[in-house]
Chain A
Amino acid sequence: MTDTPPLSLKVPQPECRPGDTPDFSGIEIPAAGTVRRPAVDEQAEAMRDLAFTIIRVMDDEGAAQGDWAGSLTDDEIAQGLRDMMTLRIYDNRMMTAQRQGKTSFYMQHLGEEAISCAFQRALQKGDMNFPTYRQAGLLIASGYPMETMMCQVFSNEADPLHGRQLPVMYSSKEHGYFTISGNLATQYIQAVGWSMASAIKGDTKIAASWIGDGSTSENDFHAALVFASTYTAPVVLNVVNNQWAISTFQGIARGGAHTFASRGHGFGIPSLRVDGNDYLAVHAVAKWAVERARRNLGPTLIEHVTYRAGGHSTSDDPSAYRPKSESEAWPLGDPIDRVKKYLIGKGVWTEERHKQAEAEITDRVIECQKRAEAIGTLNSGHVPSPRDMFEDVYAEMPPHLVRQRHEVGY
């Protein structure tokens, strides 16, 4: 006999649900510039503190502060602002296009633009991202043609993936963007393997892996950390903690750990937590981690703390599971507004110039969209031929597929 009361199952719950007042008081936010920047070769054990804080550069007044500031020139930051604005405007156009039936599905980045746009600027040509579906800023910032992105979203005849993939599951070897799986987390370990290959060959290329807070629960995440740790792989392991995995709050994946960054500690991997809505901080931390990888010092785990201000996808309605006003209460602000404020504060940007840039970018995006739509959209009939569905299953089409293709009439 035991004298303890009966057991009961404890299921974590978010701070608030629809109808509640949003509450982010549980997130401890240090002032910008107060978190130290260790040397890139500092031992993981000596920087455990960095997994329990948030590295921030831009303060509330828009000024850059502390050791992590200064990784970019003001011109580069202005370019970063344009990248983020481009991504947001592109998203808006594609969300509308989906509602107009021009495509089946879309996923936007609202509130998370800084992460992928800034990270890409820390990479070099030849490096490879293994992205999830919410890092299209990697493509935008690497100069990938927007018209081609749209052709993929519209699954038209110019879609380089021949209509085989869901919208937004882009792929570009040349632009360092690995084909998106759509199965969560699978690519995380592949990035580690890819970076190991670079090390085996004695090359200088590094890999960057991407995962969301929810899918860190997958075995692939843990396998990736073991392999990265064991072989000192030249890889940057990004966790984008946007608080929500569809309707499931991040606590369901995080469990009893205080942060996702601290997952790296058991593997001896240097692990940092960064303000994901701070373009300057994301870039500085990315640059630091990329330098570690490039100098063969091994992997770095980065938790990007952000908020998914939009729905998970066009098939999702977040008002069913979280307060409508939650995104306004998000304490790290909007990534575009913050960089705009920084640049205005530095005297290199104005409200007027911002409006002008917005108009220019919108025009450019509309131009691209017109060209892409002229080629075709999912509902216009100008989609790839059924013949294409039999190609690329194997390098050489085996007889049984040739027979099946003939049966379809090709």
Chain B
Amino acid sequence: MTQMTMIAAIQNAHDLAMARDENVVVFGEDVGYFGGVFRCTAGLQQKYGSSRCFDAPISELGIVGAGIGMAAYGLKPVVEVQFADYMYPAYDQIVSEAARLRYRSGGEFTCPIVVRMPTGGGIWGGQTHSQSPEALFTHVAGLKTVIPSNPQDAKGLLLAAIADPDPVIFLEPKRLYNGPFDGHHDRPVRPWKTHPLGEVDPGYYEVPLGKAAVVRAGQELSIVTYGTMVHVAIAAAEETGIDAEVIDLRTLIPLDTETVMASVQKTGRCLVLHEATLTSGFGAELAAQIQAECFYHLEAPVLRVAGWDTPYPHAQEWAYFPGPDRVGRNMLKLMEA
């Protein structure tokens, strides 16, 4: 095992995929020579040449659109949108094209593209560097949406996404790039080397898409979450002393309903947690499915905790961000219900 940050793990996944399959090509803004603004593609151009890893014009539409053409040709493009907040110009290409090539061509043309995007807040990024747009992808038939919460999963999920025959949106919680951030922004930064999941197998492995992980076992309450909020949920469980089970979905679509329902049926209480805005967020889908499947096991209504329905603010970031205090208060509320 090797110590890796999430950045190193993602870089390593690219490296292994490119070494293994010469059809894997990597491009995006600042991705080539410089290796990406977050360094997730560092050294790839030097190692694999500029025709397999290169800089792209500042056009997310162009990056994804050209990637779709390459995927239809038979390549395996892994493209980076520098921030998920910048993906909107590419949205038509993702929704109307990548997601539907297989369907509309009767299976003749396919689109095995991976679109990577740093997502989420906690970095003083304001409204253009902090958004969590996952629900805009989970609403689209034909896409798979993945959000890792640690280096070990990030590498295995990215390798699985690259091997997948369909388009995968790969959202990387940027506040987790360098450490398991639990929402306590006023405490010293904790690096990945202090966390067991910062130990990464240096070889090739896949973490299957569509499989959730129970990252903390518990009996009293289930927290269904993903991305940065996994660590916030664990912190809140420890701080409240509530014996909560924390489920890291890892893949939103396809959703591992089995793991989710088994947990909620066991605990009878469920808190759905995400950083994205509340209304019409992925939590709404989770809450709907959980109440339908677990109604007779529930001791209390499913509770959602999420970002407020405002644009992501700058100076008020920590009042916006659903940190461990807000999560803890809601856990207590759920236990009293």
**Chain A residues within 8 Å of B, Cβ to Cβ:** 128, 130, 160-162, 164-165, 169, 171-173, 178-179, 181, 183, 186-201, 207, 219-220, 223-224, 226-227, 230, 391-395, 398-400
Contact = CB atoms under 8 A, between A and B. Distances in A.
A189 B254 contact: no
Given A162-B106, A392-B103, A393-B141, A219 B61 contact: yes
A189 B104 contact: no
B321 to A, nearest CB: 31
B218 interface: no
Nearest to B73: A197
A196 B104 contact: no
B104 A171 contact: yes
B62 A227 contact: yes
B142 A179 contact: no
Contact of A224 (B56, B62, B141): B62
A223 B93 CA distance: 12
A329 B136 CA distance: 49
B62 A392 contact: no
A183 to B, nearest CB: 5
A193 B65 contact: yes
A348 B144 CA distance: 59
A200 B25 contact: yes
B243 interface: no
Interface of B: 23, 25, 51-52, 56-57, 59, 61-62, 65-70, 72-75, 77, 89, 92-93, 96-97, 101-110, 141-142, 144, 165-166, 210, 253-255, 257
B165 A189 contact: no
22 contacts: A160-B108, A173-B105, A179-B101, A183-B97, A188-B65, A190-B68, A192-B66, A193-B68, A193-B73, A197-B25, A198-B73, A207-B69, A219-B61, A220-B93, A223-B65, A224-B62, A226-B57, A227-B57, A227-B62, A393-B102, A394-B102, A394-B144
A201 B106 CA distance: 26
A220 B102 CA distance: 21
A193 B51 contact: no
B277 to A, nearest CB: 24
Contact of A190 (B52, B72, B253): B72
A190 B66 contact: yes
Contacts of B141: 393
B91 to A, nearest CB: 11
A123 B56 CA distance: 29
A186 B74 CA distance: 19
A224 B65 contact: yes
Contact of B70 (A165, A183, A196, A398): A196
Contacts of B104: 161, 164-165, 169, 171, 179, 181
B312 to A, nearest CB: 25
Nearest to A169: B104
